[in-house]
Amino acid sequence: QRLRRAAENWMRFPAARERLLRMLSQSTAQGVFFVSGDVHFSELLAAKCSCSNGVHFSVGEFTSSGMTHSWKTYPALMRWAMYAAHRMLPFQYSLDKVYLGRSFGEFDFDEASMTTRAFDIHGDVVFEHVWRLDELKPAKAGKDCQCLPVRGPHPAPAVENLMIAAWVIATLLPLVALVYLVYVLTCFACRGRSHPVGAHKFDTKKDR
């Protein structure tokens, strides 16, 4: 992914990503749109760009999962972790259109717009978004442009770290609860075997 800021993406190479966006804004390329994959879910993302000459445009990205595997095919705890991540972490480039199941994508063009859709394995639309062609990059955008996430700037590092910590806790809570439940049930079973029903203690002094 070009715009996301976590996992397998250009977060690890921020200077390269900024250089790419700067190169796009300075080029004569028109209607730029990214298509990506290999993150095992489908999603729509966007950056909003503003130039010193008053030109504004969007750079969009459509990520599609594979047809053979996705986060929904993984164990329950992993599915919960990814679901919680999309609800709790500051994915500022996301348009909040995410599907964790197996899916495929479609681009539908007309004279004035482009519609991006994601379909599940049954052929049902799980999300879609209409992009006006005039909101995508024009041929001459300008040289002094700044591109920011569609949902606003990223939070301060301290705030982002707190959000990540909260996500880790929320992710581990089901596992901790399951371990505790197994522990309680095991202790109850052991106690039951130690004192079977109908068994009683004898008073050795009285017996003598």
Burial profile 96-130: b = 16 or more Cβ within 10 angstroms, e = fewer: ebbbbbbbebeeeeeeeebebbbbbeeeeebbeee
Q: What is the mean pLDDT of residues 70-76?
A: 88
Q: What is the pLDDT of residue 193?
A: 62
| Confidence (pTM) | 0.75
Long-range contact pairs involving 52-58 (C-beta distance under 8 Å, separation at least 24):
52/142, 52/144, 52/145, 53/142, 53/144, 55/138, 55/140, 55/141, 55/142, 55/145, 57/135, 57/136, 57/137, 57/138, 57/141, 58/131, 58/135, 58/136, 58/137, 58/150
**Is the per-residue pLDDT at 39 higher than 60?**
yes
Q: What is the pLDDT of residue 3?
A: 56
Pairing, β 145-149 against β 42-51 = antiparallel
**Is the per-residue pLDDT at 192 higher than 70?**
no
Q: How far is CA 47 from CA 16, 62, 72, in A?
A: 16, 12, 27
Beta bridge partners of 20: none
Split at pLDDT 50, 70, 90, the class of 137 is confident
Q: What is the mean pLDDT of residues 94-123?
A: 93
Q: How far is CA 190 from CA 68, 172, 174, 195, 202, in A?
A: 44, 27, 24, 9, 22
